[in-house]
Amino acid sequence: MKIAILVIAVLLVSGCVSGQGSKIDGTYCDSSNGPAYVICLTFRSNGTVLTSGMGIETELKYEVDGDKIKIMGTPQGSLVLTMLKDGSIQSGAGAWGVKLTKHIIAPITTPDTLQARMAANEASAVSSLRTLNATAVVYGAAYAHGYPPALENLGPATTGQATELRANLIDAILASGKKSGYVL
């Protein structure tokens, strides 16, 4: 059930509010499923929304019609969200509903695109660190001598067979130590 809620939340992150005269600016996040599943939607005034969650970033188009926000381009077609009176965004209802609240990441005087990219990179970096922590524990259990000596040891195997030197637990980008503008 948490996976289904997470999928819905990730799709929400991909929606931005624009069109029909209304625009939404800002970052809306939900962390109700614990710190490992923080998802954020960064709405831009140009009609796009940057979604980020679990290290995945997606940019989609959105339209606003009254209190409804329609996000286009999701795998299921369109996704409709509701802007609540308290300024938060709701998707679904009841136990399946996800409520995203507005977060102030950092009030800086940069263009919307740069600010949205920074927020997405921050969320990606946090997700990457969680992934590295989890895979280091798996590595330690599999090879019985604690944490790996270097990130490369967690990366893809060069011969196709996972070994202690290349455990094939993370992708090559994360194993390089640089991802989404951050050095790990």
Claim to verify: residue 74 and residue 155 sit in the same structural domain: no
113 domain-assigned:
no
Q: What is the pLDDT of residue 148?
A: 92
Claim to verify: residue 129 and residue 91 sit in the same structural domain: no
Claim to verify: residue 132 and residue 45 sit in the same structural domain: no
| Count of the separate structural domains present in the chain | 2
Claim to verify: residue 15 and residue 94 sit in the same structural domain: yes
Claim to verify: residue 55 and residue 136 sit in the same structural domain: no
DSSP the chain: -HHHHHHHHHHHHT----STT----EEEEE-TT-GGG-EEEEE-TTSEEEEEETTEEEEEEEEEETTEEEEEEETTEEEEEEE-TTS-EEES-GGG-EEEEEE------S-HHHHHHHHHHHHHHHHHHHHHHHHHHHHHHHHSSSS-SSGGGGS--SSSS--SS----S-HHHHTTEETTEE-
151 domain-assigned:
yes
112 domain-assigned:
no
Q: What is the pLDDT of residue 2?
A: 40
Q: Provide the domain limits for residue 56.
A: 2-103
Q: What is the pLDDT of residue 85?
A: 85
Q: What is the pLDDT of residue 39?
A: 72
Global confidence as pTM: 0.44
Q: Running along the chain, 184 residues long, what does each successive block of 10 average in pLDDT? A: 38 37 74 61 85 75 88 79 84 63 57 74 85 89 87 88 89 86 76
Claim to verify: residue 14 and residue 97 sit in the same structural domain: yes
Claim to verify: residue 12 and residue 72 sit in the same structural domain: yes
State which of 76, 103, 130 marks the end of a domain. 103
The domain that holds 94 is classified in CATH as 2.40.128
Claim to verify: residue 89 and residue 141 sit in the same structural domain: no
Q: What is the pLDDT of residue 59?
A: 86
110 domain-assigned:
no
Q: What is the pLDDT of residue 104?
A: 59
Q: What is the pLDDT of residue 46?
A: 87
Claim to verify: residue 95 and residue 135 sit in the same structural domain: no
Claim to verify: residue 169 and residue 78 sit in the same structural domain: no
